[in-house]
Structure 1
Amino acid sequence: MLNRILGREQGEQREELARLRAENAALKAENALLNRLSAPAPLLAFVQDNDLRYVWAKGPVAAFGPGVLGLTDLDIRNGRGKSAEGFTTLHAIKGRILETGRGERHMFRLEIPGETESRLYDLVLEPHREPDGRITGIVGLGLDITVETARRGAVALAEAQAVKAEAERANRAKSRFLAAASHDLRQPFQAMRLFLHLLETRLTDDPQRDLATKLTESLDATEDLLNALVQISALEAATVTPTPTRFALSTVMERLAGEFRPLAAANGVKLRYVPTTAQVNSDPVLLDRMVRNLIVNAVRHTRKGGILIGCRRRGTTAQLQVWDTGCGIPADQLPFIFDEFYRGETAAGTPTAQSGQAKRDAQHGLGLGLAIVKKTATLLGLTVTVVSTPNRGSGFTITLPLAETVRAPAPRPILVTEVRPAAAGPATEPVKEPPPGPAQHPEVKEPGTAEPPVKEPSKDQPPSGVLVALLEDDPLQLAALEAMVEDWGCVPLAASTPEALFEGLDKTDATPRLVISDNRLPGNRRGMDVIAEIRKRYGGDVGGMLVTGDTDPQLMEQATAAGVVVVHKPIAPPRLQRLVVDALQNGTGQDGTGAGQGRAPAPPSPGISPGSSRIAAAARS
């Protein structure tokens, strides 16, 4: 009996020993597996007790030394200083897990002793629970993702660089398109306008003249669309670089008032300009574009009354204002009027509810003018505001820094203000009166306010028989210019290259009185250089005029300094004729106001009669 009992107990002991040996082998195998995992994958693994002391550690934590067991994260931090600052955050996270009983996942950067760079771990922390559910510590497992993160970062950087390169390529393509649109696409429009003007002067039948008028209106609308699209595209492509300078506001305002006064008068509206002495810091070319669009908008939507252009000083700023007594803008549309292609109803109704010129103007409105104003203002860092009273009129204000002040570098936002009461209105520098309303329009002159003289286009013909050299590489435009100059009674010398022009000049004893040239010529030649060379040969009294689509500010400065008139395509034939007359008779500079004023007109070129085509033919041969 006793032997049987002893034998049974020994058997149980052997079974228990075998079980323990199996468990020990399993633990060794598990430990070996962890060791193998830790080696190639830089695995971080550890177990901490309820006091957050390490009771087991593998991987980078163990690299802090054999004495890490029994320490907390704070102990490691205190012993390692800045190299173990991350353990402070880690200790706080683990304490929160013990309190909440919920595991967490974190990205943890660890500086390993003996390594030059820190390592990034994707760390999972879970509470260690006993079978009865009690939390007795923390179990942590982390994977070194430093290399993978760097690889992903490199891929993302490469993708970003590829996207940037593609965007730059698209931007360059857009810039090339803008350059082509600004120059090449304007060429046929300029030729069409010149030929159309010649056709109109030869038509005597009223129905035919009506057809020519409709053709002119269609050409105007097409040019407006092209110009607006080119301007919007250039602003969006960031190809426009402002050139801030100090200048008198009157140089922009007076010129635009003189230009648009006849157009407003044709619509039965009087345009008034109140002079100002304010000087500002901005880009005069871009400001001209903004004010031009505001005036066009005012002329388009004003059927009676007037338009007032003026300026008011406000502290360190000047407020350039354009007011009209038009139909006004409904309050619910004010927030959208600066959006591209927005063509909302006016207070007077839809465009189809209007008639005559009003209907045509509304149809020609593309919804781009005010968008150009907004984008240009943002580029210049200026503020644009608008107030409007339905059926009473609207007022737009551009706020600019006075020349005595320093302009803030950060652009200010475009503001759209609320509808102003009927008593509100414009304020111009010399004017103290409230704005015009339905009963008091701008055509009623205030006492003591002098109206600036209107500069009407000259109706005189150019001096008869003078030699005018023409240089243009576009055949259609060259033919149109030649026909136009010949129609004025001058003798054209037309050439498509500088070499052909000089060859033609060498074949005649006549001295050119005026050179009309494009600026961009074949072989990277410049019209400015050709004019300078002709003046060197024939004397500085030879007039120079560039008819170009190039709006480079440097070109404008060079031309002004050289006394060369700059005319931007497309140009209306009557204005071109006026500028030619000014250049031949007065030697005026850009746009009729420049170098050489007061110079006596040179005598007609000897030996050449009006209408001669001998020289033009020689220049083309």
Structure 2
Amino acid sequence: MRAGYASLTGFGRKNAASVIASALLLAVVLWMAQLSLHEMRDTSDLSDHSEDVRLALAAVSQSLLKMETGQRGYLLTGQDAYLEPYQAGVAGLDGQLQDLERLIADNDQQSGRLRTLLQLVAQRRAQLNHGLDLRQTVGIDAAIADIQRGAGIVTMREVFDDLETMSAQEAQLLAGRKQQEQASLQRNFHLIVALSTAAVLLLLMMLLRVQREMTARAQAVRQLDETNATLAEATASKTRFLSAASHDLRQPLHSLALLNAALGGQQLSAPVRAIVAAQKDSLDAMSMLINRLLNISMIESGVIQPHVEIVPLGVLLASLETEFLPQARAKQLQLQILPTQEGVRTDPALLREIIQNLLANAIRYTDRGQISLRARREGDAVVLECSDTGRGIPEDQLDRIFEEFHQVRQGNGEAREGFGLGLSIVSRLTKLLDIPIGVSSKPGAGSSFTLKLVAAVYSLQPARTVVPIVPSLSRMGRILLVDDEAAVRDATALFLQMDGHEVRAAASPEEALRVIQQWEQSPDVIVSDFQLNATLNGAELIEELRELWQLEIPAVVLSGDTMKVSPRCASMSACRVFHKPVDAEELSAHIRRILDGVPA
């Protein structure tokens, strides 16, 4: 027993080290991504500044040309109408020179050129005015003779030479800043991908240790009945560990996912876009793994409790067909889900989770043919059968397919697919709902899973197809954001701002109450973390803010710990819970549906 305890202790220390190292790497990636965004924004501002200087130089040039054109026309005709371009150029020139002086005040070299330019412009204006005076007082011959002396041409050439030199200097600065921006993005994104890969590898090492430990425990249970109590305690300890580890990893992973989405919305080069897409794939894989681990821990800890009601299978199966049809078509498989009017008594959300895992497994392990899902009545029961024409399961592995991390292998050379947790979740949920599950399979001919559900006395009409309402995506809203962790709060605020919304952020419920009172109108949406490390949690804060405004403000609760948040928020209307790490596109679409008045 002491040797076993020592082994478990070593197991816990190694995994704790892996989790801490992964969290630190993700925090570094988050920090670097923030620096990259700020640097990109600063460089973009400098580039815009250079463009403004060039536009100001062009405006000065245009005004001088208008003055030249107007003076020549008046000298030749003597008509006041030809002075309009001259007067327009004079009217705009002083303001344009002031704007130019303001724009290049931080550039000593350009400021020196501007002083010379101002002297030349003043000299040329005096020459133009002198020509007009000669035309008005002496006559056209005197004015033309003054022009023919060539002093004005020389001055104007010097003016345009100065303008061209200054514009070329700004163009050179602009090109250098663009190169700096590109180099910075390439460098930072390569570092981010490298660190993200290292974090994934550390997490996979932890999972391999988990797999080896679970295998050893299963063997010990079969061999020694007297160790059951010790193994049960170890499993409960591991569940608590996985839950805590998932929560700790969710926070930086959530921030990184939002920053990744914000970066993906920028104007980036093709290589950088490829890096961002690869980073998103890694984040999605890590998010799916953490969610699977947390689901197992929640089921085993008893947090998930079934809510039995009458479930119309036709509606449920129709929605599953919509969900999985694109995946089946992507592998050129037929997905056959037969309509039914049967009803059953069970928890609809948990039943959906079971069927989703079965369909996902069937598609994953079927290379050709079809997947079918059908319901049939057998006395007081409804049998739901999910069949495929896939690779099948060897007979010696049928008893192990519901174990954590176990994956059916037909040969040593096969690549690993998924994480081996889907059927483990199915097994736990069917036990929780008291649903008998059966499986039959033949290698190379496919597999069939059956669920025996309690039938309900239910009369159904054929399911109607619901056409989703597509929001206009035109409204931008006022969003109050509350999160006590600065890095997560900044990342969330940056993503929402880049999505076009006005965001005001608060670090505590007290600060949120002060911020909301400064608005003349109520916010359109409240986005709050659930665990605020304060006297109020996110749900309680939302209720207090609604009472303050006497208005049911739509709300979004973000949480990295689903152990308490779901039951607490289930009774709140106009409130949806997103578990971290949040899918950025889903969060953005949900907020826009709220703003467009579309039911969520």
1:207 aligns with 2:271: yes
1:190 aligns with 2:254: yes
Write out per-residue CA displacement over residues 400-436 of structure 1, whole angstroms, 9 at most, x where no aligned residue: 223459xxxxxxxxxxxxxxxxxxxxxxx99xxxxxx
Distance 1:453 1:543 in 2: 24
Distance 2:267 2:363 in 1: 30
Match of 1:220 among 284, 304, 318: 284
1:370 to partner: Cα distance: 1.0
- Kindly indicate whether structure 1 or structure 2 has the higher relative contact order, using CA contacts under 8 Å at least 6 residues apart: 2
> Which structure 2 residues correspond to residues 86-97 of structure 1 after superposition, within 5 A?
none
Instruction: Check conservation: 1:520, 1:527, Cα contact below 8 A.
Output: yes
SS of residue paired to 2:576: strand
Match of 2:305 among 242, 253, 256: 242
Match of 1:377 among 389, 414, 430: 430
SS of residue paired to 2:484: coil
Match of 1:543 among 538, 546, 554: 554
Instruction: Check conservation: 2:482, 2:507, Cα contact below 8 A.
Output: yes
The one-letter amino acid of 1:396's match is F
Distance 2:559 2:348 in 1: 19
Instruction: Check conservation: 1:270, 1:306, Cα contact below 8 A.
Output: yes
Distance 2:439 2:538 in 1: 42
Residue in 2 that maps onto 1:365: 418
Q: 1:306 to 1:547 in 2, by over 3 A?
A: farther
Instruction: Check conservation: 2:298, 2:563, Cα contact below 8 A.
Output: no
Structure holding more strand per residue: 1
Residue in 2 that maps onto 1:333: 397
Match of 2:576 among 534, 552, 565: 565
Q: 1:499 to 1:275 in 2, by over 3 A?
A: farther
The one-letter amino acid of 1:371's match is S
Instruction: Check conservation: 1:543, 1:587, Cα contact below 8 A.
Output: no
The one-letter amino acid of 2:279's match is L
Match of 1:482 among 493, 508, 517: 493
SS of residue paired to 1:185: helix
Q: 1:299 to 1:185 in 2, by over 3 A?
A: same
Distance 1:263 1:508 in 2: 46
SS of residue paired to 2:393: coil
1:519 aligns with 2:549: no
1:317 to partner: Cα distance: 2.0
1:249 to partner: Cα distance: 4.7
Instruction: Check conservation: 1:194, 1:481, Cα contact below 8 A.
Output: yes
Residue in 2 that maps onto 1:121: none
SS of residue paired to 2:377: strand
Instruction: Check conservation: 2:306, 2:432, Cα contact below 8 A.
Output: no
Instruction: Check conservation: 1:546, 1:567, Cα contact below 8 A.
Output: yes
1:467 to partner: Cα distance: 0.2
Write out per-residue CA displacement over residues 551-610 of structure 1, whole angstroms, 9 at most, x where no aligned residue: 45884585355231222333322222222222222352xxx2xxxxxxxxxxxxxxxxxx
Structure holding more helix per residue: 2
Please, which runs of 5 or more residues in structure 2 have no aligned partner? 1-226
1:315 aligns with 2:379: yes
Residue in 2 that maps onto 1:461: 473
Instruction: Check conservation: 1:310, 1:320, Cα contact below 8 A.
Output: yes
1:523 to partner: Cα distance: 1.9
Instruction: Give the CA RMSD over aligned residues.
Output: 3.7
Q: 1:399 to 1:547 in 2, by over 3 A?
A: farther
Superposition TM-score, scaled by structure 2 size: 0.54
Instruction: Check conservation: 2:471, 2:596, Cα contact below 8 A.
Output: no
Please, which runs of 5 or more residues in structure 1 have no aligned partner? 1-162, 354-361, 406-428, 431-448, 593-621
SS of residue paired to 2:521: coil
Distance 2:231 2:419 in 1: 28
Distance 2:230 2:536 in 1: 32
Larger Rg: 1
Q: 1:254 to 1:519 in 2, by over 3 A?
A: farther
The one-letter amino acid of 2:421's match is L
1:470 aligns with 2:481: yes
Distance 2:328 2:242 in 1: 31
The one-letter amino acid of 1:478's match is R
Percent identity between the two aligned chains: 31
1:294 aligns with 2:358: yes
1:263 to partner: Cα distance: 4.1
Residue in 1 that maps onto 2:514: 503
Distance 2:360 2:442 in 1: 19
